[in-house]
Amino acid sequence: DDKTVRLWSAHDGKATHTMSGHTLSVTSASFSPDGLQVVSHSNDNTVRLWSVHDGKATHTMSGHTSIVNSALFSPDGSLVVSRSWDNTVRLWSVHDGKVHCIAILHGHNDIVNNVA
């Protein structure tokens, strides 16, 4: 496990960007609705935003105290929702280049398995 996110060209099958920054396994990544960003999450308890244009990390979202097992954009791309083995769901505002946690949803007695 190389702790990276890779973007691949659908035209020639070659990697266009290798995005490094996570310190443990990256478990998933997905595109923003406009296709300009990628959100990834990792066993390092963080969520990261990446620029598709240059492959550079634009933000690291910290706060979860255990493995982050999902992170998804809202349909309009203004929010990211993340869920974690710390039994919480976090909502992150990601619009206008400013990223911050706007809500921490508590109440689960065990790992949160899915968000939509």
Tell me what the pLDDT averaged over the chain comes to: 91
Contacts of 29 (CB under 8 A, 6+ apart): 5, 38, 39, 40, 41, 50
What is the pLDDT, as a whole number, of residue 34?
96
**Pairing of the two strands 47-51 and 57-61:** antiparallel
Write out the two tokens for 43.
């066993």
**90-115 tens-digit pLDDT:** 999 998 778 999 999 887 776 666 66
Beta carbons of 25 and 3 less than 8 angstroms apart: yes
